[in-house]
Homo-oligomer: A and B are copies of this chain.
Amino acid sequence: MAHLGENRYGKSRVRVMKVVRHETHHEMKEWNVRLLLHGDFETCFTEADNGKILPTDTMKNTVYWLARESQAATPETFGIELAGYLLANNSQVTKASVEIEEKSWEQLIVDGEAHPTTYKMGGPEVQTASVVIARGSEPQVSGGIDGLMILKTTKSAFVGYIKDKLTTLPESTDRIFGTRATVSWDFSEPVSDFEETRGQVLTALLKVFAEHDSLSVQHTLYDMAEAALAAAPAISKIKLTMPNLHCLLVDLSRFGQENPNQIFVPTDEPHGYIEAVIER
């Protein structure tokens, strides 16, 4: 009566740190890896036959082993190698996907200079990469960033929207605009300069966010994305998710005070959620 539909399995939260020890300095990366396999696993579900199951523990070991073998300096490259290895060595697998988060470790500044072997966490955001390889196809590669917290204290308005019987939001010509952005960009070609592209995209996004005369989150999101596409020729499209970090103007008139856009209450919930893909 029942039958198996779409399915996948793998290992999540495989953390690995790699230290490349140069004479003058170290390179250090901390990655959190998730691997998922699609393939011919039906008999495992329906007949308890584990003969085609690569244990998720072995997938974890594969991350450690490959981290040692690999020269990959970006999560995108490491993801391509990892997905490729799993496909090449497991004929029952038809598609492998890898997601990697890289923590924001930055070289610590001591006496005005970057210390060669010491690091400080530079922000809550993580750099991300996603690689999917279907057997016989080119890798589909995305780069991204999750949890980028940015905020501007002026040049943000929101007026002219629909009013109905449930509207209570006052129009504002100068509000706080904060967001915890999640971004991902798709590469046109599987082999690209991932590092350079990451820099181009983020620089463009941040510059537009700062300088934009925002008339809505949507308006700013679009112009940020458009600038990223213009700055990064290797990408075909970009997706931005920009939930509001609402900062509510406090009503101080109850205490006999004015509040000329000075005192706000930041809130986490509820929050607005705006998401869009911008393509060439």
Partner-B contacts on A (CB < 8 A)? 1-21, 26, 28, 30, 34, 36, 41, 44-46, 48-58, 60-62, 64-65, 67-69, 89-90, 105, 108, 110-111, 115, 117-125, 148-155, 158-162, 164-169, 176, 206-207, 209-211, 215-219, 221-222, 225-226, 229-230, 237, 243-244, 247, 250, 252, 254-257, 259-280
Contact = CB atoms under 8 A, between A and B. Distances in A.
Contacts of A226: 1-2
A269 B58 contact: no
Contacts of A6: 276-277
23 contacts: A1-B229, A1-B230, A2-B222, A2-B278, A4-B222, A5-B237, A5-B277, A9-B273, A11-B271, A13-B269, A15-B265, A16-B250, A28-B151, A45-B221, A53-B162, A55-B158, A57-B169, A110-B207, A110-B211, A117-B155, A121-B149, A123-B123, A166-B255
Contacts of A216: 44, 48, 50, 53
B15 A168 contact: no
A68 to B, nearest CB: 5
A69 to B, nearest CB: 8
A243 to B, nearest CB: 7
A69 B252 CA distance: 11
7 shortest A-B CB distances, which residue pairs? A5-B277, A7-B276, A13-B269, A121-B149, A48-B215, A118-B210, A56-B272
Is chain A's binding surface mostly helix, strand, loop or mixed?
mixed
A106 to B, nearest CB: 9
Copies of this chain present in the complex amount to 4
A180 to B, nearest CB: 9
B168 A110 contact: no
Contacts of A125: 121
A183 to B, nearest CB: 14
Nearest to A209: B118
Residue of A2, A15, A34, A124 ringed by the most chain B CB atoms within 10 A: A2
A268 B32 CA distance: 13
